[in-house]
Amino acid sequence: MLFWIIVAILTAAVAVFLLKPLMRPGREGDAARTGEAAVYKDQLREIDRDLAGGLIGEVEADNARAEIGRRLIAVSATGAADGRRASGATLRKIAAGIVIVVLPATGLCLYLLTGSPGTPDQPLAARLENPGNNLDLLVAKAERHLAENPNDGKGWDILAPIYYRGGRLGDAELAYRNAIRFLGVNAERATGLGETIMAGNQGIVTEDARLAFEEAARREPKSPRPRFYLALAMEQAGRRDEAKAAFEALEKDSPADAPWLPLLREHIAKNSSDGPPVASAPGNPTEADVKAAEGMTSGDRQEMIRGMVASLDARLKEDPNNFEGWMRLVRSYAVLGEKDKAVAALKVALTTFPADGTEGRQLVAMAKQAGLDVEGAMK
Amino acid sequence: MIVEIGHYALVLALAVALINSVLPVIGARRNDAGMMELATTGAYALFVLVLLSFLSLVWAYEASDFSVKNVWENSHSAMPAIFRFSAVWGNHEGSMMLWLLILTFFSALVALFGRNLPESLKANALAVQSWMGVAFALFILLTSNPFIRLSPVPAEGEDLNPILQDVGLAIHPPLLYLGYVGFSVSFSFAIAALLDGRLDAAWARWVRPWTLAAWTFLTAGIAMGSYWAYYELGWGGWWFWDPVENASLMPWLAGTALLHSALVMEKREALKIWTVLLSIVTFSLSLLGTFLVRSGVLTSVHSFTTDPTRGVFILGILMLFIGGAFALFAWRAPLLKAGGLFAPISREGSLVLNNLILTVSMGSVLIGTLYPLVLETLTGEKISVGAPFFNLTFGLLMVPLLIAVPFGPLLAWKRGDLLGALQRLYVAAGLALVAGLVFFYAKNGGPVLAVLGLAAGFFLVFGALADLWYRAGFGKVSVSTGWKRLTGLPRSAFGTALGHAGLGITVLGIVAVTTFETENVVEMTQGQTVQAGGFAVKFDGMRATKGPNFTEEQGHFSISRDGVQVADTWSSKRLYTARRMPTTEAGIVTFGTSQLYISLGDPMSNGGIVVRIWWKPYVLLIWGGALVMMAGGFVSLSDRRLRVGAPARRAKPVKAYAAEAAE
Structure confidence by residue, pLDDT tens digits, A288-342: 554 554 445 555 556 666 777 777 787 777 777 777 788 888 877 877 777 788 8
pLDDT bucket at A279, cuts 50 / 70 / 90:
very low
Highest-scoring range by mean pLDDT, A108-122, B166-180, B365-379, B620-634:
B620-634
Is B155–A134 a contact, with Cβ atoms under 8 angstroms apart? yes
Q: How far apart are CA B548 and CA B314, in angstroms?
A: 37
List B residues 108-167 in contact with A (Cβ-Cβ < 8 A): 116-120, 141-142, 145, 147-149, 151, 153-156
Alpha carbon distance, N-terminus to C-terminus of chain B: 55
Among B332, B353, B370, identify where a domain stops.
B332
Query: What is the per-residue pLDDT for A246?
Result: 87
Same domain flag for B159 and B207: yes
CATH entry 1.10.645.10 includes domain A132-271: no
Instruction: Write out the DSSP string of A74-95.
Output: HHHHHHHHT-PPPP-HHHHHHH
Q: How far apart are CA B413 and CA A43, in angstroms?
A: 14
Same domain flag for B467 and B555: no
Compute the nearest-CA separation of A52 from chain B (Å): 11
Do A309 and A326 meet the contact criterion of CB atoms below 8 Å apart? no
Q: Which amino acid is at B565?
A: Q
Q: How far apart are CA B90 and CA B612, in angstroms?
A: 30
Longest alpha-carbon distance in chain A: 119
Query: What is the per-residue pLDDT for B59?
Result: 94
Same domain flag for B484 and B581: no
Highest-scoring range by mean pLDDT, B37-51, B115-129, B145-159:
B37-51
Compute the nearest-CA separation of A316 from chain B (Å): 17
Is A107–B414 a contact, with Cβ atoms under 8 angstroms apart? no
Residue B646 inside a domain? The answer is: no
pLDDT bucket at B442, cuts 50 / 70 / 90:
low
Query: What is the per-residue pLDDT for B647?
Result: 33
Residues forming beta bridges with residue B521, ordered by sequence position: B612
The arithmetic mean of pLDDT across residues A83-112, rounded, is: 81
- A-B contacts (CB, under 8 Å): 240
Q: How far apart are CA B587 and CA B232, in angstroms?
A: 10
Q: Which residues, 6 or more positions from A156, have their beta carbon under 8 angstroms from its beta carbon?
A: A146, A175, A176, A178, A179, A182
Is B31–A123 a contact, with Cβ atoms under 8 angstroms apart? no
Q: What percentage of chain A carries pLDDT values higher than 70?
A: 83
The arithmetic mean of pLDDT across residues B352-380, rounded, is: 82
E-only strand ranges, B127-186? none
Do B125 and B199 meet the contact criterion of CB atoms below 8 Å apart? no
Residues forming beta bridges with residue B565, ordered by sequence position: B560
State residue B104 phi and psi, 5-degree precision. -70, -30
Same domain flag for B84 and B213: yes
Query: What is the per-residue pLDDT for A80?
Result: 45
- Provide CATH 1.25.40.10 ranges for chain A: 132-271
Is B34–A42 a contact, with Cβ atoms under 8 angstroms apart? no
- pLDDT of residue B159 exceeding 50, the answer is yes
Do A20 and B628 meet the contact criterion of CB atoms below 8 Å apart? no
Q: How far apart are CA B215 and CA B496, in angstroms?
A: 13
CATH topology for A287-378 is 1.25.40
Same domain flag for B312 and B457: no
Query: What is the per-residue pLDDT for A278?
Result: 46
Question: Over chain B, what is the mean pLDDT?
Answer: 82
pLDDT bucket at B300, cuts 50 / 70 / 90:
very low
- pLDDT of residue B117 exceeding 90, the answer is no
Highest-scoring range by mean pLDDT, A198-202, B2-6, B261-265:
B2-6
- pLDDT of residue A224 exceeding 50, the answer is yes
With beta carbons under 8 A apart, name residues in chain A contacting B644: 35, 38-39, 42
Residue B368 inside a domain? The answer is: no
Count of domains forming chain B: 3
Q: How far apart are CA A93 and CA B535, in angstroms?
A: 79
The arithmetic mean of pLDDT across residues A359-375, rounded, is: 76
Per-residue pLDDT tens for B216-239? 999 999 998 888 888 877 777 788
SS3 call for B362: helix
Residue B359 inside a domain? The answer is: no
- pLDDT of residue A51 exceeding 90, the answer is no
Residue B366 inside a domain? The answer is: no
Residue with more model confidence, B176 or A36: B176
Instruction: Write out the DSSP string of B288-306.
Output: HHHHHHHT-HHHHHHGGGT
Question: DSSP label at B319?
Answer: I
With beta carbons under 8 A apart, name residues in chain B contacting A26: 32-34
The arithmetic mean of pLDDT across residues B605-611, rounded, is: 80
Query: What is the per-residue pLDDT for B654?
Result: 34
Do B467 and B497 meet the contact criterion of CB atoms below 8 Å apart? yes
Name the residue among B61, B22, B100, B140 with its Cα closest to residue A110: B140
Task: State the residue range of the domain holding B597.
Answer: 518-616
Residue with more model confidence, B40 or B244: B40
Residue B379 inside a domain? The answer is: no
Query: What is the per-residue pLDDT for B126?
Result: 94
Same domain flag for B48 and B120: yes
Name the residue among A331, A353, A333 with its Cα closest to residue A341: A333
Name the residue among A137, A136, A142 with its Cα closest to residue A127: A137
Same domain flag for B495 and B550: no
Same domain flag for B275 and B257: yes
Query: What is the per-residue pLDDT for B645?
Result: 35
The arithmetic mean of pLDDT across residues B382-399, rounded, is: 79
The arithmetic mean of pLDDT across residues B551-572, rounded, is: 86
Do B120 and B204 meet the contact criterion of CB atoms below 8 Å apart? no
Per-residue pLDDT tens for A152-194? 888 888 888 888 887 788 888 888 888 888 888 888 888 888 8
Pick the residue from chain B with its C-alpha nearest to A22: B34
Highest-scoring range by mean pLDDT, A338-342, B391-395, B504-508, B574-578:
B504-508
Among B299, B332, B365, identify where a domain stops.
B332
In sign, the C-alpha dihedral spanning A87, A88, A94, A97 is: positive
Name the residue among B661, B611, B636 with its Cα closest to residue B262: B661
Is B7–A111 a contact, with Cβ atoms under 8 angstroms apart? yes
- Count Cβ atoms within 10 A of the Cβ of residue B202 and give its class: 0-12 exposed, 13-18 middle, 19 or more buried: buried
Q: Which residues, 6 or more positions from A304, have their beta carbon under 8 angstroms from its beta carbon?
A: A289, A292, A293, A296
Closest partner residue to B19 (CB to CB) among A18, A30, A125 is A18
Pick the residue from chain B with its C-alpha nearest to A63: B414
Question: Over chain A, what is the mean pLDDT?
Answer: 78
Name the residue among B513, B35, B500 with its Cα closest to residue B260: B500
Q: How far apart are CA B160 and CA B581, in angstroms?
A: 11
The arithmetic mean of pLDDT across residues A48-70, rounded, is: 77
Q: How far apart are CA B127 and CA B107, in angstroms?
A: 9
Is B30–A84 a contact, with Cβ atoms under 8 angstroms apart? yes
Count Cα neighbours of A129 within 13 Å in the Cβ-side half-sphere. 5
Highest-scoring range by mean pLDDT, B65-69, B289-293, B550-554:
B65-69
Query: What is the per-residue pLDDT for B11?
Result: 95
For helices B324-332 and B167-196, give the axis angle rounded to 10 degrees: 30
In sign, the C-alpha dihedral spanning A140, A143, A144, A145 is: positive
- pLDDT of residue A31 exceeding 60, the answer is no
Residue B524 inside a domain? The answer is: yes
Same domain flag for B495 and B578: no
Same domain flag for B288 and B182: yes
Q: What percentage of chain B carries pLDDT values higher than 70?
A: 88
With beta carbons under 8 A apart, name residues in chain B contacting A3: 1, 4-5
- Binning chain B into helix, strand and coil, the percentages to the nearest 5 are 65, 10, 20
Pick the residue from chain A with its C-alpha nearest to B489: A53
Q: How far apart are CA B475 and CA B470, in angstroms?
A: 8
Same domain flag for B222 and B159: yes
List A residues 7-36 in contact with B (Cβ-Cβ < 8 A): 7, 10-11, 14, 17-18, 20-24, 26-36
The arithmetic mean of pLDDT across residues B130-144, rounded, is: 92
- pLDDT of residue B649 exceeding 50, the answer is no
Same domain flag for B15 and B153: yes
